[in-house]
Amino acid sequence: MSWVRLNMRFPGTCLECGKRINLGEQGLWARGVGVKHVECAERSAGQGPDIACAVCGGPAGCGTCELADSCDTKKVSQLCICRGCNTGDAMAKYVGAVARKFPSLRGDGIGAPSWGAAEGRPRGIT
């Protein structure tokens, strides 16, 4: 499917956000599919599929997130948390899940990097 960027000659409704695209506004159009805002297309192209929840591995729910308008998934952490896991002691669940996925961040020496914190550089390099 090929999307064409154009100035809207007719008003329409964005396929991504459901908001109106006014006459003369820039939009993307595909024959037989519909129209969408340029910004919505860029945002969805950058996101790709929904980010996985760092705790349970299910979808984090980017499409329904209250921060979706200001979130650029190309620039932020891919370690989001879904609404289901964001209950109770969510921070402890999140920290535990991240520690399991990235053992070098655990801080207990297991899987720690090969340099000492005191030196600030890899061992064996002077």
Instruction: Write out pLDDT tens, residues 39-95.
Output: 888 776 655 556 788 898 888 887 778 777 777 766 777 788 888 898 889 899 988
Q: What is the pTM of this model?
A: 0.44
Instruction: Tell me: pLDDT of 114 over 60.
Output: no
Instruction: Band the pLDDT of 110: cuts 50, 70, 90.
Output: low
The Cα 30–Cα 9 span in angstroms is 14
Q: What is the pLDDT of residue 82?
A: 87
How many CB atoms sit inside 10 A of residue 27's CB? 24
Instruction: Write out pLDDT tens, residues 1-51.
Output: 578 999 999 999 998 888 999 999 999 999 888 999 998 887 766 555 567
What are the domain boundaries of the chain? 1-47, 49-111
Instruction: Tell me: pLDDT of 111 over 60.
Output: no
Hey, which CATH number is domain 1-47, 1.10.260, 2.60.40, 3.30.60, 2.160.20?
A: 3.30.60
